[in-house]
Copies of this chain bind each other. A is one copy, B any other.
């Protein structure tokens, strides 16, 4: 069974090829009765357009490329699922382009990509989307793109992001509501915009309750298990220990749990530990980690919508769309012990 072509449909419907094309593209000025005839023929022949031919002629490809440089497989997995779900609704395909955001050739790689692979638009995840040179290149080349989990605003491109600061405030308030005041904070990797936003949220919440932040309670981290471990070791051998540790992500929180276990500190009775991101590990560890979940799937879907609007040169009502994180309480954080 050779695949049906537009010609077969035209013949079957008794109209010209062009008319079929008009129906397929939802162009106006087609008589309803004609449209019906064509649609019937399409259905009977199980006709689907050859995307290659469409792309060739109209200089479109219905492909969008996801550029990512993120060591968190769970995040990428969920992101892809969200993108795929929306792409398939809108008739687009997804191309993957992993990269290293620190690669000195990043700009050339991206330039090569947009010059030589057919695609209609790009989805950039952080931290690549926060790279100004990359954004400028894309604007110069006229390649539509949308930013995901971004931390820099940009008038030339739409973006979606989670309000990290707000979420960090909520988490800090949660710890305070459990009675904690001696709260330590482990920062993330300085290359990531989230690092600062999360820290600022922590500071703001502490300030709003007039709780002083002990400078020895703030440690640098790097979003890795080992960096969480190291920070925790410093925090927990101090004479004046915190009663709660807010880690900027779950990997580091897992590192904190390790150190606590080694030092014989019981979590959550002697120490509350919270993380960020709702990474799979936060449920696969004991105690399971109280954390903040980004709606990654929805973020991704919305980014695709924004990108497709941009591709089709439609109005983008909101340039940067904000999402909220969800506080997920698990076993690693609890009320402070009174008789301490």
Residues of B within 8 A of A61 (CB): 52
Q: A284-B281, A286-B262 are in contact. Are A84 and B56 (CB under 8 A)?
A: no
- Flag whether A116 is at the interface (Cβ < 8 A): yes
Let me know if B56 and A52 touch, CB within 8 A: yes
Q: A225-B283, A257-B286 are in contact. Are A118 and B73 (CB under 8 A)?
A: no
- Flag whether A212 is at the interface (Cβ < 8 A): no
A45 CB to nearest B CB, Å: 12
Let me know if A48 and B284 touch, CB within 8 A: no
CB contacts under 8 Å to B, within A31-65, are 46, 48, 50-53, 55-56, 61
Residues of B within 8 A of A81 (CB): 98
Let me know if B52 and A118 touch, CB within 8 A: yes
**Total contacting residues, chain A, CB less than 8 A:** 41
| Chain copies in complex | 2
Residues of B within 8 A of A96 (CB): 80, 84, 94, 96
**Complex Cα distance A236/B255, Å?**
27
Q: A285 is contacted by which of B51, B116, B281 (Cβ under 8 Å)?
A: B281
Let me know if B48 and A115 touch, CB within 8 A: yes
Interface CB pairs A-B, < 8 A, 9: A52-B61, A73-B78, A74-B74, A76-B77, A80-B96, A93-B117, A96-B96, A225-B284, A261-B286
Assuming A257-B286, A281-B285, what are 4 further A-B pairs, CB within 8 angstroms?
A73-B76, A93-B95, A258-B285, A262-B286
